[in-house]
Structure 1
Amino acid sequence: MFKNYFKVAFRNLSKHRTTGFINIAGLTVGITAAVFIMLWVQNELSFDNYHKDVDRIYRVKAKLTLTKTETWVWESSPYLLGGVAKKEIPEVKDYTFLWPGYMITVHNKGQLISEKKYAYVDANWFNVFHYDFVDGSAESFSKNPFSLILTQSTAKKYFGNGEAVGKMLRLDSVNYQVQAVVKDNPANSTFQYDILIPVAAKLVNPHEKEQSTHWGNYNGLTFLKLQPGVNTNETAKKLTDIIRKNNKDSENTALNVISLKDMHFENDLQNSSFEHGNRRLVSIFMILAVLLLATACINYVNLTTARASVRSKEVSVRKIVGAGRFQLFGQFMSESLVVSVLALIFSVICIQLFMPWFNNVTEKHFTQPLASTTTWLILLGTLLVSFIFNGLYPAILLSSFKPLSVFKGRSTLNIKDGGVRKALVVVQFGISVMLIICTMVIYRQLDFMQKADLGYNREHVFSFRIPWNVLGFDDKKRVSMLSSIANELREQSPIKEVAQSQSDDFYNNGTKMSGSMDWAGRPKDYKPSVATLSADENFQQMMSLKMKEGHWFGKANVDQHNVILNETAVKQLGLRNPIIGQRFKFNGDSGIVAGVVKDFNFRSLHEKIGPMVINNHTDWAGSFYIKTASGNTAGAIRAAQNVWNQFVPDQPFAYNFLDEGYNKLYHAEQRSSTLITVFASITIAISAMGLLGLAAFAAEQRVKEIGIRKVLGASVQSIIRLLSADFLKTVLIANLVAFPVAWYMMNKWLQDFAYRIDISWWMFAAAACIALIIALLTVSIQSIKAALANPVNSLRSE
């Protein structure tokens, strides 16, 4: 019986090739897209779940209450905390400490290579977290402070296919021995470090060792492995007691813990060492996967039910010769299964072909996805959903025909079925229109952010930072070196302007300070936080910052003790008039307010402009900003590199253009925009394929009517209007359904931005026009074909 089911299913596919192609092609594209989306979603939701006892691993987080309305949240904690917590808190079974690195230089075969994905870890790291060791061991790594653990890909980069364990690598000015090689970090790992170094190596430096003994220094991340069934709120109270007992200035600080599984979606931190996910975006993409698959399945349902009248006699004959309703139901479900399985096979091929592109867009590394159990579970789940969704309604409908009614010539389908089919087309095109609108809004917001007036000019400016270990801690030598570098840069003809600052990411200034300011009229209990910036006398001109009143810093350190405030700082701090010349104490330095600069965006447009205090302390201003001469950017970079090589010969020259760095702030939005654009295009294509199939069948069913109309004098245009009208009405209704849904979704998305576009009416009109044009072109292909056909051929049999 089952063999016969599938034989008939393949026979029907062979007989109705156009319909079969549309069904399989649409479902293939839908399944492929849905699987890609669900791979990404599953990866986001499973971050760090592969670690043993993941439910018992927590990271300490600190909350510093500044005012009633402002709290800072840090992921870092003091180095000493973990050891003391294990001794004093019975609930703590183990602990470990992570000290993220900024950038380190690897000397390899005469080359200088910058590595950013590295970190210092203590001896307990591998007791808490799981790693797959390919060679070597954690024990040998912990015995020698100058040890390294490399990932497989990093070991191959430096040592080829040869054995890495036992080999030496020079990092900065120190030689390290590779003690172990581990498998590459999974795509769903928070810790994407390619090089691990013992914390003991960092503490060899006397300055770092001395700093690590201070309870006020939050210099790394403390992870705790707790006993089973522990009340984390009680643990947090005990941690807070420890920090307040050991640091008298921590009365406004409270420690808490966050589960390792929840870290990926943590969104309340001031700054973070890791890239975090967006739970709202995950939900959006889950819905998108369902919509894509639903769009493809709607094609099958519509085309199958549309052809019901053609198969009505087949079903009636089967019933007369003894087939029961259950057997007919099984026949049509088997046809759905055949289409779904064929689509799945083609989807597997597409997944393999397009996986490199998907990895590139998402910046994940889904290696050999078809070897993963997760991928096959997603594939089989998608197959099951499409099989049931595709087959259930058509099978119920087609198996319900009454043979007597069919042979008497009565209609086999009722108005309700036609209504269902139209409703499905409305849903299908409604999804397409909604995604078109979403794509347009996202693109417009990204374009707005790139072209927004930020209050400064970031064009033709690049920056680089002199490493702190090169500058050293000798004040005189450091200031002398910085001055020499600045003078050398100014003598280079391709360089137009040079300015100094303490930070090389002016467009994303995360430096904040609180409790170190005083001014006339400040309430004693008012200790607001402000962003800070150290800048020299050339900074304002280079960045085209506009002064509201007063002046920028003068030359020869005449304003060394003075500050400049932005407009928001003047408002929020409540300074009295006149502002200029007013006493202002900042970070222990007493001076006056020399000027007020107009507000500029020193953070991303997700955040409102906050108060900023700018000072003239350039003794630690190791970041240089270079404005290139017109048309000579390459020459300016070469000139800056030559100066770098003169003062920092043992490290590679790394620079960053301000406009590129600014655009990276919206990297996640750009990725989302690319994915949504691609998937919106896929949805439109699938919908158009379904509409093409329905239009072809409608033209086929009305071929004699069209022939009679042409004989009676109907024009080609009138026949095209006749066949297109119903479809265009359906698409028009789809637009009206999609508009409010799209507006609601995009309005929610835009709320994440402090500065955003307005959702304009023309976006909805444009989306409606695009959908209507696509529908009209699709339907017209069949309408024109039918209208141009010779009526003699269609009427010959009558």
Structure 2
Amino acid sequence: MLTPTLFHSNKMIRHYLKTAFRFLRRNKLYTIINALGLSISLAVSFIILLFVINEFSYNHCHKNRKQVYRVVNYYKEFKITMAGTPYVLAKTLKDEFPQVERAFHVRNVRGFKLKLNDEFIAVRSPKACNSDVFDIFTIPIIGSLLNEDPLQELNSIVISQKLADQFFPGEDPVGKEIEGLINNTEQILIVNGVYEDIPRNSTFRADCFLNERWTLDPLNQSFGVSDMDVNWTYDFWNTWILLSRDADAAELDDQFEAFELKHISEDPHVHYSLQNLADVYLKSADIANTGMAGDIKNIRLFSTVALLILLIAAINYIILSIAVSTGRAKEIGIRKTAGASIARIQNQVLSESILLSLLVLPVALLFMWLAKPAAEKLFQTSLEVIRANMVIYVSFYLLLTVFIGLASGLYASSYLSRLKVLDVLKQKMSFGRKRRFFRSSLIVLQLVIFCSFVSGTLIIRSQYQYAISKNPGYHMHDILQIDLGRGFPSYDAFLNGIRSIPDVKMAAGAMDGLPMNGYMTYMQPHFQDKEAKVKMEGFAVDYDFLETMGMTLLEGRSFSTDYGSDLDHSMILNETAVRELGIEDPIGQKMDSLHTIIGVVKDFNLHSIHTEIPPLVIDMTDKYLNYILVYYQPGTLDELIPKLETEWLKVEPDKPFASTTIEELFIDTYSSEKNLGTILSIAALFALLIAAFGLLGLTLFVARSRTHEIGIKKVYGSSEQAIVFSFLRSNFLMVLVAELLSIPLALYFMGKWLNNFQYRADIGWWVFVIAFLIATLVVLLTVSIHAIKASRINPVDALRYE
């Protein structure tokens, strides 16, 4: 049975809702304009909120995440932090620190494939490690394991449910054989277990796990050593540990210094520290080779965009509420006369705004669903609705919807509830300078947001065009890059086959493609001050590389087969290296006891323009040539690709041919900048669209309220042009003020963004002129629709209107 208080409360709520429905239905234009603005802004916010929730949910699928840590490695000399650690570290930590319950090292098995229907198929992220991986991460085993330690034997493999369904449909794969290709050698593997597919929102993902020695032995062989399992020099593995529940990670961090002195040297070149699993995805921007990682800056940026779009929609509601308040004044006055309190009137007005926001919620969700595929391309990630996050999605969407309703209605409820009864009933309501100034300030704020978005978009697009068109110091066109992978067995035969194709001008091998993503660094003593050291980068190439890429040789010569010593004893430096090392006459000088400088090449962008051109040493190699770069005749690419594939099949029939042009690589390198510009341009479009809706409605209400005034002006001889101009002038001034306010904002925030680039385009004055012209054009066109209509009203009808 309902209590009297609860019954009264329910009755009041029903009354508020009924009155709100009547008001919204009676003011159709007001309702439609606000509904459009709210639905668009909520849809944009929902998409961004989906992205943000998914980003923050990474690694929440692992139950022990608060106890799981990755060991990261700070190189003191290079001042760089990396995720790579020695093979021996995991076992040593587990043996020496009782708080470390589990530990394992892990590395991807490069080029690993499994055989299906007589064809070897590549497997995503195959990892070699020990069985502690299943205790540290939440990776549930399906059914039983063949052995208690499923990764103990060299031929052991544990596969995901996805691989089990693919290779053993309808069967139990445990105990069965499967043929794998590891390090270009066929191996018979035994399936020791099947685990549930690792969720997408985990940074640690793999489709199968193999014995840890599958990465150890090949690296020993590659470097000509046999002790990587006990050596502290080679940092090729990631180390993960599970701490006991009562362990203090900071305390273990403090013990690493003594640990390094004990195991590495009296002056260790590295320092280890712990990074919690919860921080790996969003707090690894300064850690090299970290693998899958997000960017907290993007989350902040997109969240700000969503808030600004919502703010524009809320401002629309406030402006239009003020505009229609003259029509509601008598209603409010009568309510007050009948004894309605300020709180009751405020609740009534708030219920209208909340009801409207709830009514547009389904429309906003529909808009979001329709826009999701396009948004995924822009965000460069899947906007999958993750089942584990469902409660979070629903809670945040409802909270955001109610919040925007409350925020939109607060001012209107406060203003209308404080109207004086006597003034209302005598129709003495007046909108003085303060009210007009407040309304104008809100419109200016909307336009500031729009102009800032437009200016930011143009600056980003300008920087993007600069990045993809700036001369990098080598051929940007007619260069094809072929990915060989590591340890390509038929390099010479394939290169000779390429060179035999008539459309090929030149071809050469290199350790990496351009622009290069990775780094190969070392410290070189300064030539003048032997105590000082210069951080250098290395780049290994084959003969004809400089000529193929069109690089400019300033001094000396290039690598040549005429000089047998070039392969092991010659180096070419770039201009920056010569300058930083203090070398006066570089040709013929010794870099060390084995290497002689034979040439100086003009500086070129080894990496993207986010980084400075480093001091660079180019040397010869015949071991680490992972790419071939092909300089071809212009306009022959479509005919060239099939010919290259034919040559590829002659030497590597079981591996897919992979190639891309330098132009495509540049576009891909700066794709995030391009997408950011697109996101801001879409935000600007929505901002302008929502603001235009509000301005259109406001102009209509203002024109109606000024009908009497317009009639008097026409009686006294004012022309239609003069009346239209009076409408346009005030709006033009608001656009001008908004643009002037947006300029310092755009300069400040875009200046900070441009600091991410070492080479950048200048911010031109035209950026702000274009933003001003677009805003002016849209605002004046929107206002003129009703201004012209109002100017043509019959004076007699206008004076009768009141």
TM-score computed with the length of structure 2 as normaliser: 0.90
Q: Which residue in the other structure is 1:374 paired with?
A: 392
Q: Which residue in the other structure is 2:605 paired with?
A: 601
**C-alpha distance in 2 between matches for 1:364 and 1:538:** 39
- Secondary structure of the 2:360 match is helix
| 1:204–1:530 Cα change, 3 Å | closer
- C-alpha contact (below 8 Å) 2:101/2:244 kept by paired residues: yes
**C-alpha distance in 1 between matches for 2:656 and 2:570:** 36
Aligned partner of 1:180 among 194, 209, 221: 194
Q: Which residue in the other structure is 2:42 paired with?
A: 31
Q: Which residue in the other structure is 2:411 paired with?
A: 393
Deviation of 1:243 after TM superposition, in Å, equals: 4.5
Deviation of 1:73 after TM superposition, in Å, equals: 2.0
- Secondary structure of the 2:151 match is helix
Deviation of 1:239 after TM superposition, in Å, equals: 3.7
**C-alpha distance in 2 between matches for 1:618 and 1:201:** 24
Which moved further from structure 2: 197-206 or 552-561?
A: 197-206
| 1:318–1:164 Cα change, 3 Å | farther
Aligned partner of 1:740 among 740, 744, 766: 744
| 1:372–1:135 Cα change, 3 Å | farther
| 1:183–1:617 Cα change, 3 Å | closer
**C-alpha distance in 2 between matches for 1:431 and 1:491:** 59
Q: Which residue in the other structure is 2:555 paired with?
A: 549
Q: Which residue in the other structure is 2:467 paired with?
A: 449
Deviation of 1:155 after TM superposition, in Å, equals: 5.8
Q: Which residue in the other structure is 1:497 paired with?
A: 506
| 1:319–1:630 Cα change, 3 Å | same
Which residues in structure 2 correspond to 1:257-296 (within 5 Å)? 257-266=274-283, 269=286, 271-296=288-313
- C-alpha contact (below 8 Å) 2:526/2:532 kept by paired residues: no
Is the aligned partner of 1:14 residue 2:18?
Answer: no
- C-alpha contact (below 8 Å) 1:401/1:412 kept by paired residues: no
| 1:193–1:683 Cα change, 3 Å | farther
Deviation of 1:686 after TM superposition, in Å, equals: 0.9
**C-alpha distance in 2 between matches for 1:169 and 1:793:** 91
**C-alpha distance in 2 between matches for 1:423 and 1:285:** 25
| 1:175–1:688 Cα change, 3 Å | farther
- Secondary structure of the 2:506 match is strand
Q: Which letter maps to 1:486?
A: L
Aligned partner of 2:692 among 681, 688, 694: 688
| 1:409–1:470 Cα change, 3 Å | closer
Q: Which letter maps to 1:501?
A: A
**C-alpha distance in 2 between matches for 1:101 and 1:785:** 73
**C-alpha distance in 1 between matches for 2:427 and 2:525:** 94
| 1:288–1:310 Cα change, 3 Å | same
Q: Which residue in the other structure is 1:562 paired with?
A: 570
Deviation of 1:394 after TM superposition, in Å, equals: 0.6
The one-character-per-residue Cα deviations of 1:347-377 (angstroms, maximum 9, x if unpaired) are 1222222222223322333333687112112
Q: Which residue in the other structure is 1:487 paired with?
A: 496
Which residues in structure 2 correspond to 1:318-329 (within 5 Å)? 318-329=335-346
Is the aligned partner of 1:336 residue 2:344?
Answer: no
Number of residue equivalences: 778
- Secondary structure of the 1:659 match is helix
Is the aligned partner of 1:190 residue 2:203?
Answer: yes
The one-character-per-residue Cα deviations of 1:118-141 (angstroms, maximum 9, x if unpaired) are 333321112111235566669685
Q: Which letter maps to 1:499?
A: A
| 1:784–1:177 Cα change, 3 Å | farther
Deviation of 1:692 after TM superposition, in Å, equals: 1.0
**C-alpha distance in 1 between matches for 2:757 and 2:418:** 54
Q: Which residue in the other structure is 2:64 paired with?
A: 53
**C-alpha distance in 2 between matches for 1:270 and 1:483:** 36
- C-alpha contact (below 8 Å) 2:112/2:180 kept by paired residues: no
Q: Which letter maps to 2:107?
A: W
- C-alpha contact (below 8 Å) 1:265/1:276 kept by paired residues: yes
Is the aligned partner of 1:207 residue 2:221?
Answer: yes
**C-alpha distance in 1 between matches for 2:705 and 2:411:** 22
Which residues in structure 2 correspond to 1:218-367 (within 5 Å)? 218-228=235-245, 230-248=247-265, 251-266=268-283, 269=286, 271-367=288-384
- Secondary structure of the 1:99 match is strand
The one-character-per-residue Cα deviations of 1:98-126 (angstroms, maximum 9, x if unpaired) are 21344444544455544554333321112
Deviation of 1:157 after TM superposition, in Å, equals: 6.3
Q: Which residue in the other structure is 2:536 paired with?
A: 530
- C-alpha contact (below 8 Å) 1:75/1:221 kept by paired residues: yes
Aligned partner of 1:581 among 568, 583, 588: 588
Q: Which letter maps to 1:543?
A: M
Deviation of 1:175 after TM superposition, in Å, equals: 4.7
Ranges in structure 2 where 5+ consecutive residues have no aligned partner: 1-11
| 1:514–1:16 Cα change, 3 Å | same
The one-character-per-residue Cα deviations of 1:20-70 (angstroms, maximum 9, x if unpaired) are 01101101111111122222223333432332232222211112222xxx4
Q: Which letter maps to 1:623?
A: Y
| 1:746–1:521 Cα change, 3 Å | closer
- Secondary structure of the 2:591 match is strand
Is the aligned partner of 1:383 residue 2:383?
Answer: no
**C-alpha distance in 2 between matches for 1:702 and 1:557:** 91
The one-character-per-residue Cα deviations of 1:416-458 (angstroms, maximum 9, x if unpaired) are 3332222211211111111111111111111111111111113
- C-alpha contact (below 8 Å) 1:498/1:626 kept by paired residues: yes
Aligned partner of 1:726 among 730, 739, 750: 730
Q: Which letter maps to 2:70?
A: R
The one-character-per-residue Cα deviations of 1:226-272 (angstroms, maximum 9, x if unpaired) are 23454445423544444443444962222122222222244565631
- Secondary structure of the 1:724 match is helix
**C-alpha distance in 2 between matches for 1:725 and 1:774:** 14
Aligned partner of 1:122 among 130, 135, 150: 130
| 1:384–1:242 Cα change, 3 Å | same
- Secondary structure of the 1:601 match is coil
- Secondary structure of the 2:204 match is coil
Q: Which letter maps to 1:374?
A: I
- Secondary structure of the 1:307 match is helix
Q: Which residue in the other structure is 1:99 paired with?
A: 107
Aligned partner of 2:545 among 530, 539, 549: 539
- Secondary structure of the 1:590 match is coil
Q: Which letter maps to 1:300?
A: Y
| 1:361–1:145 Cα change, 3 Å | farther
- C-alpha contact (below 8 Å) 2:509/2:545 kept by paired residues: yes
- Secondary structure of the 2:339 match is coil
Deviation of 1:567 after TM superposition, in Å, equals: 0.6
- Secondary structure of the 2:608 match is coil
**C-alpha distance in 2 between matches for 1:644 and 1:732:** 62
- C-alpha contact (below 8 Å) 2:64/2:138 kept by paired residues: no
The one-character-per-residue Cα deviations of 1:475-508 (angstroms, maximum 9, x if unpaired) are xxxxxx43322222211223232111222x2311
- C-alpha contact (below 8 Å) 1:141/1:180 kept by paired residues: no
**C-alpha distance in 1 between matches for 2:677 and 2:406:** 32
Which residues in structure 2 correspond to 1:511-522 (within 5 Å)? 511-515=519-523, 521=528
Q: Which residue in the other structure is 1:477 paired with?
A: none
Is the aligned partner of 1:423 residue 2:430?
Answer: no
| 1:326–1:462 Cα change, 3 Å | same
The one-character-per-residue Cα deviations of 1:292-339 (angstroms, maximum 9, x if unpaired) are 111111111110111111110111112222322222122111111111
| 1:500–1:63 Cα change, 3 Å | same
The one-character-per-residue Cα deviations of 1:60-111 (angstroms, maximum 9, x if unpaired) are 1112222xxx423221101111111111112322212221344444544455
RMSD over aligned Cα, in angstroms? 2.9
Q: Which letter maps to 1:507?
A: P
**C-alpha distance in 2 between matches for 1:532 and 1:350:** 51
TM-score computed with the length of structure 1 as normaliser: 0.91
| 1:230–1:132 Cα change, 3 Å | closer
Which moved further from structure 2: 118-127 or 421-430?
A: 118-127
Q: Which residue in the other structure is 1:44 paired with?
A: 55
| 1:760–1:519 Cα change, 3 Å | closer
| 1:417–1:192 Cα change, 3 Å | farther
- Secondary structure of the 1:52 match is coil
